[in-house]
Structure 1
Amino acid sequence: MDTAPNVDVPRPTDGPWPPLGWEERAWRSTLPPDLFSRSAREALRKPYRAAVTPLIADLDVHLPRATAAAAEDASAAIRDFDADAAGDVAPFAAILLRSESASSSQIENLTSGAKQVALAEIGEESRRNAVQIVGNVHAMQAAIALSRTIDGAAILAMHRALLEEAEPETAGHWRTEQVWVGGTGYSPHGAAFVAPHPDRVPAAIDDLVAFAERDDIPPLVHAALTHAQFETIHPFPDGNGRTGRALIHALLRHRGLTRSVTVPVSAGLLVDTPAYFDALTAYRQGDPATIVDELARATHDAVANGRVLLADLRAARDEWRSRIRARSDSSAWPLVELVLRQPVLNTATVQRELGISHTNAMRAIERLVAAGALAEVGGRRRSVLWQSTQVLTALDGFAARAGRRGLGRS
């Protein structure tokens, strides 16, 4: 693929945000010509148009008053939810992060039940979707861990954590090939969106990182615009959407809007995925308000859904605690907290997480079985596993609520 001289570079406009520019690039197909008709071969000889992202590092952000107000209301909802969950941060931080990872994956049509994801986390499930969702959990964990400094290395680390199991050859590397959305699989001609040429990716990421490091933009607005610009750059051959939504959480933590837990905003975006994708398209056309509005709307849906999940989990925990008969120093009590964040487990998991012997792990498990918190099930390796049906039901209920309206519109 060679650069053609016809380039329409994005320039400042009278509007609130510069739209994409476009450039023509020559296309060289690697497929044998005899696979195509004569008309298709002629079409492939023509240049295609690839996006050229505007530089945003130093742009002033001007939004309609209603959009700014919506972002502030959503920010308040995030702060309240984060504070509410902080009292149970150990189990709930993990469960909310897993829920957010599953919802982000579902936006990419990667779906799996809560039990399959929990099994994959302990190596008892090898189905591709469940394994990829666990990869997304790792990407979210990396995003939070690296949120102090958001730079190119941090973004690469998020992507590496996401795909190192599924696609190790490309995980953690900027793309070196052209990518596009829609159209055919063999050329970008006629695609709905053609991302920037790979030789433009490093400079575009440097500009994005400079924008992400600013502190003069309201945090939710900052996260929305950073996410939209990242999705437009599309710097990886795969995993852009999931990495980009992990980046939202890195920004929210970096700017101090969240301090304890991961607010499951992807579950809110999942409620109306067409509106989310339309907002990204609008951003590329020079409208920054729509993606901010969409993230604000998604935040309220996510917080409402998340509160139901936390209420379900707290009710289950209270019920178990009332039924457990054990001394105050028994390992059964910390096992309750472990079950909330790891609803399918084996003795090795209990031993490792609680730092106890096999004998004490079995005693704690037996007490939770007697209290109705755990039930014995078989693993795919004929191992003995225990699961919490209540926690798995609560997680599947969260996913169903997130996807209900979006599924109805598709």
Structure 2
Amino acid sequence: MTEEAALGDNADWPAHTRELRPWRSRGGGAREDRTLAQVEVSMPPKIATLTARLSGPLAARMEDALREVAMLDAEHGTQLDALGALLIRTESVASSKIEQIDASIDDYARAMHGVKANPAAISMVAATEALRTIVTSVQPGDTIRLSSIMDAHERLMANDDALADRQYAGRIRDMQNWIGGSDHSPRNAMYVPPPPDTVDEYLSDLLSYMNRDDVPVLTQSAIAHAQFESIHPFTDGNGRIGRVLINTILRRRGATTRVVVPLASALVAHRDRYFDLLDDYRDGSVTPLQESFVAATRIAAMESRTTARRLVEIPSEWRRQVGKIRSGSATAMLLDILPTRPVLSGEEACDAVSASESSVYSAIERLHVAGVLKPLTARKRNQVWSAAAILDELDDLGKRIAAAAR
């Protein structure tokens, strides 16, 4: 019997099953928490060899979305370094917002530069580093390894406020976790992932699926993400790492080579719908998830191409703001590096620009007066500066994608 036949005529993916497991309270909570003796856990299917059904119209929309991604990845030549950095930040910020972790762009920029900032901004920067760590470690045709996922998780959680979660940075959980319900037990939980003793086997199965080359790449990224969310292998950070896997698969399959597609900005526009899609997956319906990922990919790639064109225009606008600039001057050199380093300190500017310290600081002041740079800190020594137009574009890109997704 084929795998598809085994699903039944009306199903398009095997549903999760349920199992009762013993539960022992660790104390605390209401009486119902303390006396809970068993918990119903969700057991995802093994997916390493499964193939999702794909209708002709959905396959056509999938190809259209991938064409948009290919044009984004190929069309913008020298601007891709600046674009790549901005898209990584855009995706990380949006992915954090799905978890209701939010901070202003300026706070995020301060945290990105190591300046004291609020916990949400620090968490956003950690998500950026996690995404950069795993996506840049994979080239087309490579094998996605568990060690890369663990490294990304370690970066994500290393500075987490919760000591318990920080201690589990880069480690698979050895305890039962759950989503929603009580803080003290899985009582009334919205979802209870598989038991800890099953997680290693599930991750091995998932990696086998992620490293296949015989399934459509957007289907693969959508299902791998939903399966990872269902396994929930970490004590915290599962959502952000699960979304990192989307662009990791796109990179491994060669759908992208230099950019990240900020799908999370589209998903955050329908946060409740996003969680509903994960529930649909667990109930045995994968088509809505595929459709959502296809739409999000197309929108994110199209709006990112708009941003790419904007990044081409910004340096010329800066030069018009500043006025006549001598070729080879500290001001000219500083303008050249700002697209890829939109946040930097005075000391870093001196290190990056081949000119005297006094010339560099004069250039910073000139760019500040012209409105190109704005200060991010109130201190007088080693001030941190940001290229306002670049940060504004980061913010605007996320908003445009979310608006188009709505």
> Same fold by TM-score, threshold 0.5 exceeded?
yes
Provide the C-alpha distance between the structure 2 equivalents of 1:128 and 1:280, rounded to a whole number of angstroms. Answer: 28
Task: Report the AA paired with residue 144 of structure 1.
Answer: V
The equivalent residue for 1:70 is 61
User: Partner of 1:111: helix, strand, or coil?
Assistant: coil
Provide the C-alpha distance between the structure 1 equivalents of 2:72 and 2:335, rounded to a whole number of angstroms. Answer: 23
Task: Report the AA paired with residue 157 of structure 1.
Answer: D
2:30 corresponds to 1:30: no
Q: Deviations over 1:141-182 (max 9, x none)?
A: 012122233111111111112111224311100011111112
The equivalent residue for 2:248 is 250
What is the deviation of 1:23?
A: 1.2
Provide the C-alpha distance between the structure 2 equivalents of 1:320 and 1:383, rounded to a whole number of angstroms. Answer: 23
Worse-superposed segment, 300-309 or 233-242: 300-309
Q: Is the 8 A contact 1:91 1:338 kept in 2?
A: no
Which of 148, 151, 158 pairs up with 2:152? 158
Unaligned runs of 5+ in 1: 1-10
The equivalent residue for 1:361 is 360
Q: Is the 8 A contact 1:113 1:396 kept in 2?
A: no
Task: Report the AA paired with residue 113 of structure 2.
Answer: I
Q: Normalising by structure 1, what TM-score?
A: 0.88
Q: Deviations over 1:34-54 (max 9, x none)?
A: x534x6655x13x21111121
The equivalent residue for 1:195 is 193
What is the deviation of 1:325?
A: 3.4
2:225 corresponds to 1:234: no
What is the deviation of 1:331?
A: 4.2
Q: Is the 8 A contact 1:21 1:51 kept in 2?
A: yes
Unaligned runs of 5+ in 2: none
User: Partner of 1:88: helix, strand, or coil?
Assistant: helix
The 1:182–1:88 alpha-carbon spacing in structure 2 relative to 1, beyond 3 Å, is same
Worse-superposed segment, 334-343 or 201-210: 334-343
Which of 122, 127, 149 pairs up with 2:143? 149
The equivalent residue for 2:213 is 215
Provide the C-alpha distance between the structure 1 equivalents of 2:211 and 2:305, rounded to a whole number of angstroms. Answer: 31
The 1:55–1:40 alpha-carbon spacing in structure 2 relative to 1, beyond 3 Å, is closer
The equivalent residue for 1:274 is 272
User: Partner of 1:396: helix, strand, or coil?
Assistant: helix
The equivalent residue for 2:83 is 92
Q: Deviations over 1:204-261 (max 9, x none)?
A: 0000111111111121111111111111111001101100111111110111101111
Identity within the alignment, %: 33
The 1:357–1:195 alpha-carbon spacing in structure 2 relative to 1, beyond 3 Å, is farther
The equivalent residue for 2:334 is 335
User: Partner of 2:235: helix, strand, or coil?
Assistant: coil
What is the deviation of 1:96?
A: 1.2
Task: Report the AA paired with residue 124 of structure 1.
Answer: V
2:17 corresponds to 1:21: yes
What is the deviation of 1:278?
A: 1.3
Provide the C-alpha distance between the structure 2 equivalents of 1:86 and 1:210, rounded to a whole number of angstroms. Answer: 34
Provide the C-alpha distance between the structure 2 equivalents of 1:386 and 1:41, rounded to a whole number of angstroms. Answer: 53
Structure 1 outlier segments of 4+, above 6 Å: none
Task: Report the AA paired with residue 348 of structure 1.
Answer: E
What is the deviation of 1:379?
A: 3.6
Provide the C-alpha distance between the structure 2 equivalents of 1:163 and 1:352, rounded to a whole number of angstroms. Answer: 31
5 Å matches for 1:100-179? 100-147=91-138, 148-166=142-160, 167-179=165-177
Q: Deviations over 1:327-347 (max 9, x none)?
A: 433343443243234433211
5 Å matches for 1:246-325? 246-322=244-320, 323=322, 325=324
What is the deviation of 1:291?
A: 1.3
The 1:335–1:218 alpha-carbon spacing in structure 2 relative to 1, beyond 3 Å, is farther
Provide the C-alpha distance between the structure 2 equivalents of 1:194 and 1:93, rounded to a whole number of angstroms. Answer: 36
Provide the C-alpha distance between the structure 2 equivalents of 1:194 and 1:355, rounded to a whole number of angstroms. Answer: 57
Provide the C-alpha distance between the structure 1 equivalents of 2:400 and 2:214, rounded to a whole number of angstroms. Answer: 35
Count of aligned positions: 392
2:341 corresponds to 1:350: no
User: Partner of 2:63: helix, strand, or coil?
Assistant: helix
User: Partner of 1:321: helix, strand, or coil?
Assistant: helix
The equivalent residue for 1:60 is 51
